[in-house]
Amino acid sequence: MSGLDMTGLTTGPAQVWGGIRLVPLLRDAPVAGLRLHRDLGTAAEDDPDDPCDGPWRVSYVPHAFVADWSGDGAHGAAYGTRLGPGSGTADPVRIPVSPRRHLTRRVREQGRRGRVPRATDRLRFLPLQLALAGYLSLHFRGPSTAWDEWSRSALQRGLSPREEAAYAGASVPGLGEALRVFEIHPRQCGVLLYAADALAAAFVVPHPADYRALHGTLVEDLYGELVYQYAYYARPLPAFEARLGDGRSVRTTADLRAAARRAETEWRRDHDSILAAGLLTDGYRFERVYAMDGFTLQRFLPGFVPGREQHIGELIRDHKGRTAYLKTFRLSEVQVRRGHLLDALHREDWHPGRTAEALGTSVEELARRIRSAGFGSLLKHG
Amino acid sequence: MPVQSAGSVRSAASARPVPPQDPTETTSTGELRAGLVAAEDLLLFVNAAITATGQREFRSDAAEQQLSLAFLHEYVQVNHRSLYAAALALDINDHNAALIVERLLRTAREATAEQKRTEGRLIAARLALLPPQRVYRLFRALRTAGVNNRRTRAVQRDWLAARPDLGLDAVKYRRWLKSAVRHSHPPARVLDSGALSAGRAGELGDFLFRPGIRTRYGHPLLDAYRRAHYEQQAVYELPFTVAEGFAARHRVPRERFLERIAPRMTRLEKLRTTEATGGRTGERELSELPLTRLALYALSLPRAERAARRTVLTAALRSAARRSAGAGAGSWGRVSAVLDDSYSSYGSGVKRRRPLAVALAAHFLLEALAATYRPHWTSGLTDPLMAHPVGPTPLGTRILDALEDSPDRLVIVSDGWDNAPPGLAGEVLRLWRTALDPGRATAVVHVNPVYDAAGYDVRRLAPSVPTVGIRDAEDLPALVEVGQFTEGRTGPAELRAYLDRRTERFLRRYERHLPDEGRGRGGGRNGSGSGYDGGKAGRV
């Protein structure tokens, strides 16, 4: 299977704010058996009136969420999304982060945001550079170093040579405001985020309560350079307003209702086939990371075709292959080209001659491209 | 910087080229056009003046609101001065009333003698309705702006002379009164009038400007203020807000202080402190509150508490609605309502749940006004007391549901951001008018509690449906009357006549009481003249 299976998710009516368009993804019924890890979801769950909130066996921790899992006040960032048992005792693999710096951030965030009252024993934000570098290093192949060692050096000396530019959601113009005024649907389990009508990110969770808990965190996520630029230069977008025609065929309110329903279906079809086409194409390569109780955690890479919309991401599928959790990151053109290059190198096992041949170019040209992509230090000179 | 334009606000704002209009043009079409533009501008301005308070709203911040509102004020004041003044007679909110008065006084020289006369009467009548703290703030603004013409002084003198007890003001609004007196130099007889005349002459002047020169005052409040500095007992003779400071100074425990000061509190002060200290507001206090205020109070309670006090709250809301409906109760026939409880009805941190409270209050008011009534909340809510701002705004679908009841009247209470799907409400209403109900058997009106800063108006749903701004649900019947002018079926002449009628009624109501007792809003020492609450009933 080389595409994303979005069965069970229907596209809702979009909400526009400035240059940002947010398209909600709705589920008729939440995915059974999978929920946000209890430590993270305390604010959203335990609603006794919610019939969907049944027992669940498997929990997940999204990538780069920082929490106090150790119980002794040391904080860690989740490196890659994790699956665990639902009881909440599992300890995800994490990168220790400097507690002093982050504690001050936590205090500030608590004062600033009026959202969910945060439990004092956990905090939630992306350690930006670490998360991004980690995220991309999860996806881009190539010679990799042990993460712990590498992250330490990254903290001390910056992320060279594997530095990737990305922007926190808060710095994407208008995104914070768009997320704030967005009205979450009752059945909403995901969102597609467009900047100037270019798909910036897709985010899907199994349960509406999980979505409500994590909606605000979209502003703390990372977005590609392209998203930043599009949002920066975007003019206010028009809403796709419903059009019901001239009403010649409308005789009763039932006709009117039917026309309204048709307009809704049309929007759904147009959106899925035009706006979201770049995401819903085939050509992804999935890497299975973890499986548990019928759920599999996978990472996917696009075909790295230069000139086309490309997303990388993580997803959790249920036993039928349907998407329960999804998080994508849109690559900029530069990143796509770099990925293309690394991909080709990886395929040929880093042999310059064979790679150059595969790319239809010379070894010198290949070396130039590797250097200009920021991987010069990997080349042996001479 | 005056904003001169021959076109309407919209065209002026959107910089669309407007065909120049000769001001001396006297042809009937020219007059008609000017009249139409004026009518459109006025309705737009009134919508803004009812809803906008220069505070943050869900979708725009305070600065945007203030900028937008300032433009609108400037535009209307320059282009339609007499209409601008006449807006004082309508149900506009206090914030805008104060702004209008300030602007009129600042630009007195632009008015003709006739205009000045009307403006003077309107200003006096309106100031009498405003809460005193707003008026003092207005006086301060005039002082800051350096406006001290004869009219301004006269307005201040008359207002101060009409205060029921300047002694209370001197204690409660000490700095404000001082500033006003320093600015306008009212004659000594004004400062020694009323309760102060019982004391010794010149007492107030000494209190304000030469504290400590007298060993005792004849006016009980002034004297209590003096004694409160060293005597705990005297604290409880003062108004609540003043006493609070002294109580802190004397280190009186909060509970004891609140218990003993209770008789000095205004209604709203009682409401606030009771909830803050974990007490419960009794049935009697609730029954005194106006409808929208009551709705705001009910929504401020956690849902569990609302459920526990369901009977009390519902009874209070019902009786407040019946009081507001008055003689009109049951006269509206079959009514359906579409009420917006989407996430945006939360409003903002400073206008918390205001749009939702208006919808809730409208729900109970319509229930009282209608013979048969059916509500349709956007979230599908069936228990209005449990209303909570959540979810999207599927206005179109709900309007369809409501139209299926085939009501005589459809009332939509919403901020106009129809987003699930966007634009459906407008389309449904358009087709309903053109294809299904061309005979206008159903009257549709949209009331909107939120000022849209970018559009210089409240947001509309469809051109065929009148949209009016609303601040308090109690004004709904009067607003429905105004709504007919926005439909475009009545001409500017009717609007003008309506406005004159309202102005006349407004002035008569005020001036009839002029010779005898309370020209103000009859504030006693108990502080009823200090709340934000009363006074609404006094408006037309």
Tens of pLDDT, residues A9-44: 999 999 999 899 999 999 999 888 888 776 554 444
- Across the beta sheet with B334-339, what order do the strands follow? B372-377, B334-339, B409-413, B443-448, B467-469
What would the two tokens of residue A148 be? 């712990």
Residue in this structure with the two tokens 């009109």, named with its chain if needed: B328
- Least confident window among A140-144, A201-205, B65-69, B397-401: A140-144
Number of domains in chain A: 2
Please check whether residue A46 lies inside any domain of the structure: no
Cα separation, A287 vs A380, in Å, equals: 30
Contact A253 B58 (CB under 8 A): no
Cα separation, B52 vs B50, in Å, equals: 6
B216 C-beta neighbours (distance < 10 Å), count: 11
Count of CB pairs separated by less than 8 Å, A with B: 94
pLDDT tier at A96 (50, 70, 90 boundaries)? low
Considering Cα of A134, then A138, then A143, then A148, what sign does the dihedral take?
positive
CA distance B417 to chain A (A): 10
Q: Looking at residue A38, what is its pLDDT?
A: 64
Q: Is B397 helix (H, G, I), strand (E, B) or coil?
A: helix
Contact B421 A244 (CB under 8 A): no
B302 C-beta neighbours (distance < 10 Å), count: 8
Please check whether residue A104 lies inside any domain of the structure: no
Contact A244 B390 (CB under 8 A): no
Please check whether residue A102 lies inside any domain of the structure: no
Percent of chain A with pLDDT over 90: 19
Which residues from B are below 8 Å from A260, CB to CB? Answer: 396-397, 400, 424, 427-428
CA distance A120 to chain B (A): 23
Residue in chain B lying closest to A181 (CA) = B59
Cα separation, A241 vs A267, in Å, equals: 9
Compute CA distances B211 → B230, B242, B283, whole Å.
Answer: 15, 17, 44
pLDDT tier at A95 (50, 70, 90 boundaries)? low
Least Cα distance to B416 among B447, B379, B387, B443 occurs for B447
- Least confident window among A89-103, A198-212, B144-158: A89-103
Minimal Cβ distance to B58: which of A114, A181, A260: A181
Alpha-helix runs per DSSP H in B262-405 = 267-276, 283-288, 291-300, 303-308, 310-325, 354-369, 395-404
Phi, psi of B444 (to 5 degrees): -110, 135
Which residues from A are below 8 Å from B386, CB to CB? Answer: none
The residue type of A19 is: G
Percent of chain B with pLDDT over 90: 64
Q: What is the mean pLDDT of residues A213-222?
A: 84
Minimal Cβ distance to A242: which of B58, B396, B403: B396
Length of chain B: 540
Which residues from A are below 8 Å from B428, CB to CB? Answer: 244, 256, 260
Contact A114 B379 (CB under 8 A): no
Contact A244 B428 (CB under 8 A): yes
Cα separation, B103 vs B142, in Å, equals: 9
Domain co-membership, A273 together with A317: yes
Q: Looking at residue B515, what is its pLDDT?
A: 55
Minimal Cβ distance to B404: which of A14, A239, A253: A253
Quick check: A79 and A98 in contact, CB under 8 A?
no
Q: What is the mean pLDDT of residues A165-186?
A: 88
CB burial of A53-72 (b: ≥16 within 10 Å; e: otherwise) equals: beebebbbbbbbbbbbbeee
Compute CA distances B279 → B255, B262, B274, B314, whole Å.
Answer: 11, 13, 5, 19
Minimal Cβ distance to B423: which of A239, A256, A259: A239
Domain co-membership, A328 together with A357: no
Contact B435 A248 (CB under 8 A): yes
Residue in chain A lying closest to B419 (CA) = A15
Which residues from B are below 8 Å from A240, CB to CB? Answer: 421-422
Phi, psi of A231 (to 5 degrees): -65, -35
Cα separation, A28 vs A163, in Å, equals: 41
Q: Looking at residue A337, what is its pLDDT?
A: 82
Cα separation, B207 vs B170, in Å, equals: 8
Cα separation, B465 vs B484, in Å, equals: 9
Domain co-membership, A272 together with A371: no
Residues of chain B with pLDDT under 50: 1-2, 5-6, 12-26, 516-540
Q: Looking at residue B138, what is its pLDDT?
A: 96
Minimal Cβ distance to B424: which of A14, A242, A248: A242
Minimal Cβ distance to A183: which of B344, B421, B424: B344
Domain co-membership, A321 together with A341: no
Q: Looking at residue B531, what is its pLDDT?
A: 34
Cα separation, B195 vs B175, in Å, equals: 20
Quick check: B172 and B530 in contact, CB under 8 A?
yes
Element (H, E) at A152: helix A147-157
User: Which positions ≥6 away from B339 have C-beta within 8 Å?
Assistant: B359, B360, B362, B363, B375, B376, B377, B378, B384, B413, B414
Please check whether residue A245 lies inside any domain of the structure: no
Quick check: B529 and B518 in contact, CB under 8 A?
no
CA distance A248 to chain B (A): 7
Please check whether residue A99 lies inside any domain of the structure: no
Please check whether residue A290 lies inside any domain of the structure: yes
- Least confident window among A3-12, A89-98, A198-207: A89-98
- Complex ipTM tops 0.85: no
Q: Looking at residue B346, what is its pLDDT?
A: 94
Q: Looking at residue A298, what is its pLDDT?
A: 84
Please check whether residue A76 lies inside any domain of the structure: no
Which residues from A are below 8 Å from B349, CB to CB? Answer: 114
User: Which positions ≥6 away from A66 have C-beta within 8 Å?
Assistant: A75, A76, A77, A78, A97, A102, A123, A124, A125, A126, A127
CB burial of B15-46 (b: ≥16 within 10 Å; e: otherwise) equals: eeeeeeeeeeeeeeeeeebbeebbbbbbbbbb
Among B343, B344, B376, the residue to mutate for chain A (most A Cβ within 10 A): B343
User: Which positions ≥6 away from B333 have C-beta within 8 Å?
Assistant: B370, B371, B372, B407, B408, B409
Domain co-membership, A133 together with A180: yes
- Long-range contacts, B313-316 (Cβ 8 Å, 24+): B313/B286, B313/B385, B314/B385, B315/B283, B316/B283, B316/B286, B316/B287, B316/B289
Domain co-membership, A327 together with A338: no
Cross-strand partners of A188: A26
Compute CA distances A182 → A149, A230, B341, whole Å.
Answer: 41, 20, 14
What would the two tokens of residue A314 be? 């993580």
Contact A253 B349 (CB under 8 A): no
pLDDT per residue as tens digits for the range A267-302: 999 999 988 888 888 888 887 877 888 888 888 888
Give Cα A271 to chain centroid, integer Å: 19
pLDDT per residue as tens digits for the range B77-124: 999 999 999 999 998 999 999 999 999 999 988 999 999 999 999 999
Contact A181 B59 (CB under 8 A): yes
Please check whether residue A262 lies inside any domain of the structure: yes
Domain co-membership, A182 together with A230: yes
Contact B392 A242 (CB under 8 A): no
Contact A183 B403 (CB under 8 A): no
Q: Looking at residue B10, what is its pLDDT?
A: 55
CA distance A138 to chain B (A): 36
Minimal Cβ distance to B419: which of A15, A253, A260: A15
Which residues from A are below 8 Å from B378, CB to CB? Answer: none
Quick check: A281 and A328 in contact, CB under 8 A?
no
pLDDT tier at A118 (50, 70, 90 boundaries)? very low
Domain co-membership, A178 together with A219: yes
Q: What is the model's pTM?
A: 0.85
Contact B419 A250 (CB under 8 A): no
What would the two tokens of residue A280 be? 């819903």
CA distance A298 to chain B (A): 32
Domain co-membership, A147 together with A290: yes
Tell me the residues of A at the B interface, defined by beta carbons under 8 Å apart: 12-16, 24, 114, 181, 183-186, 239-244, 247-248, 250-253, 256-257, 259-260, 263-264, 267
Which residues from A are below 8 Å from B56, CB to CB? Answer: none
Contact A244 B397 (CB under 8 A): no
Q: What is the mean pLDDT of residues A83-109?
A: 47
Domain co-membership, A358 together with A259: no
Which residues from A are below 8 Å from B404, CB to CB? Answer: 253
pLDDT per residue as tens digits for the range B520-535: 333 333 333 333 333 3
Cα separation, A277 vs A348, in Å, equals: 31
Contact A250 B344 (CB under 8 A): no
Q: Looking at residue B295, what is its pLDDT?
A: 95
Element (H, E) at A338: helix A333-347
The CA-based angle A170-A211-A140, given to 5 degrees, is: 60
Contact B421 A242 (CB under 8 A): yes
pLDDT per residue as tens digits for the range B275-322: 777 777 777 788 888 999 999 999 999 999 999 999 999 999 999 999
Quick check: A327 and A191 in contact, CB under 8 A?
no
Which residues from A are below 8 Å from B436, CB to CB? Answer: 250-253, 256
- Least confident window among A49-63, A122-136, A192-206, B423-437: A122-136
- The domain containing residue A360 runs over which residues? 334-379
Cα separation, B501 vs B503, in Å, equals: 5
Domain co-membership, A167 together with A280: yes
Which residues from B are below 8 Å from A269, CB to CB? Answer: none
Which residues from B are below 8 Å from A244, CB to CB? Answer: 424, 427-428, 430-431
Q: What string of DSSP letters covers B416-434?
A: S--BTTBTHHHHHHHHIII
Cross-strand partners of A59: A35, A84
Q: Looking at residue B460, what is its pLDDT?
A: 92
Q: Looking at residue A142, what is its pLDDT?
A: 43
- Written in H, E and C, the secondary structure of B23-78 is CCCCCHHHHHHHHHHHHHHHHHHHHHHHHCCCCCCCCCCHHHHHHHHHHHHHHHHH
Tell me the residues of B at the A interface, defined by beta carbons under 8 Å apart: 58-59, 342-344, 349, 379, 390-393, 396-397, 400, 403-404, 419-424, 426-428, 430-432, 434-436
Quick check: B90 and B122 in contact, CB under 8 A?
no
Residue in chain B lying closest to A239 (CA) = B422
Domain co-membership, A210 together with A225: yes
Minimal Cβ distance to B423: which of A12, A241, A253: A241
Q: What is the mean pLDDT of residues A192-202?
A: 92
User: Which positions ≥6 away from B423 have C-beta within 8 Å?
Assistant: A239, A241, A242, A243, B396
Most confident by average pLDDT, A45-49, A67-71, A103-107, B250-254:
B250-254
User: Which positions ≥6 away from A112 have C-beta within 8 Å?
Assistant: none
Residue B15, by phi and psi: left (phi above 0), alpha (psi -120 to 50) or beta? left
The overall average pLDDT reported for chain A is 73
Cα separation, B155 vs B106, in Å, equals: 13
Contact B349 A114 (CB under 8 A): yes
Which residues from B are below 8 Å from A15, CB to CB? Answer: 392, 419, 422
